Amino acid sequence: MAFTFECFSITHIGNRRKNNEDNFYIGNGALLTRDEQQSISQTTNKVVHKSLMNEGAANLIFAVSDGMGGYKDGEIASFIVADALDSFVSDQKQSLLELSHLDQSRLKLSQLKLSQLKLSQLKPNRQKPSRKRQDKFTYIQAFQKMIEHTNNKILEYSNANNESDTMGATLSGLICFADEAVPFNIGDSSTFIYENDTLRKLTTDDNEAAIYKAAANEVTAREVVAIDAAAIDAAAIDAAAIAASVKESADLPELKKKGKLLTKYFGLPISSGVLTAAISPPIKLKLGQIYLIATDGLTDYLSIDDILKIVKANRGISAAANELVLSALGGETGGKDNITVVMIKVNKSIKIEGA
């Protein structure tokens, strides 16, 4: 059995930026093309949205990618990430189809051999159940390999273009298997779940704010370093110094400003190690769940309580997503960044061949 999904995605250029550096990927292949990215501007079309209804399949991916603000060619970096997801899903789908055909061939051969045996020769069937879909662990391993290759591709593009000496992107989202959703994250985009009238963040940001927060909670310097040891490169700030500065100051807005520097992102130099996505514990899929994935253009301007109020007040995910974007655009400080929101609602379960 698997679930069907209703999905609505929207990206808005915001009020200040000259171009849209965000991208998204939903389901089995919907993303912002390069032409669509370039069509978004302050003078023409400011927004693009796409939707899926009753999308039913195993191994779907829903995600957002934010081209690094202030860096060159951020929109190209986010497109490379979204396009890599599309290629990955397509390749895995083909692999699953080939495995299914192989299983069917083996089954037919086994049945043929059994039919040639006498009943007295038959032994209890000790065969393992035939594989109906790719093993989740294997799928996630392949996903992590794709992350590594995509980072290398962005680095190669950056090195080949003198004007693109520094470019990067974030990634946050879900892998939806037949029965559960697995959140993943690189950078400071975010993934949430809404159920039972509560909103909960499923991912942890990869930025210095996580270290500041740990220090503010009086985590020891050694524990702080352990939190993001794999993500922080040689230039990372000293945890003990952070802890001392946090204890001396309660100016949280200033800490938030300092904490925006990413410690993990696409475009991270190979010298910092192999880039992998942080994988959060799986969530059992249930009817009526709503998942929200957003770039920091939303979460920097709306608190989790603000988001919760809007999601609770709207019956439909498209209405909720549009209102979230409008709210992030409002006020004197709103809309300084591009804003991208993907919302997914879990609908009825169905029988899917191979799931």
* pLDDT (tens digit per residue) in 251-283: 444 434 445 788 999 999 999 999 999 999 999
Does 248 score more than 70 pLDDT?
A: no
Considering the four listed CATH numbers 3.40.228.10, 1.20.1250.20, 3.40.50.300, 3.60.40.10, the one that applies to the domain covering 2-205+265-350 is 3.60.40.10
Q: What is the mean pLDDT of residues 232-243?
A: 44
Q: What is the DSSP string of 312-351?
A: HH-SSHHHHHHHHHHHHH-TTTTTSS-EEEEEEEEEEEE-
- Measured at the CA of 102, the angle between CA 100 and CA 104, to 5 degrees, comes to 70
Q: What is the mean pLDDT of residues 287-309?
A: 96
CB atoms within 10 A of CB 312: 13
pLDDT tens sequence across 119-134: 445 454 444 433 444 4
In which band, very low, low, confident or very high, does the pLDDT at 54 lie, cut at 50, 70 and 90?
confident
pLDDT tens sequence across 181-214: 999 999 999 999 999 999 999 999 998 876 666 6
Does 24 score more than 70 pLDDT?
A: yes
Backbone torsions φ then ψ of 185, nearest 5 degrees = -160, 140
Q: Give strand pairing partners of 200.
A: 193
pLDDT tens sequence across 210-227: 666 666 665 444 454 444
Portion of the chain with pLDDT greater than 90, in percent = 54
7 contacts 51 by C-beta, under 8 angstroms: yes
Confidence (pLDDT) at 101? 46
**pTM for the complete prediction?**
0.79
DSSP run (H or E) holding 180: strand 180-186
pLDDT tens sequence across 85-115: 999 999 998 876 555 444 455 455 555 555 5
233 contacts 327 by C-beta, under 8 angstroms: no
Q: CATH 3.60.40.10 occupies which residues in the chain?
A: 2-205+265-350
Q: Which residue has the higher pLDDT, 97 or 160?
A: 160
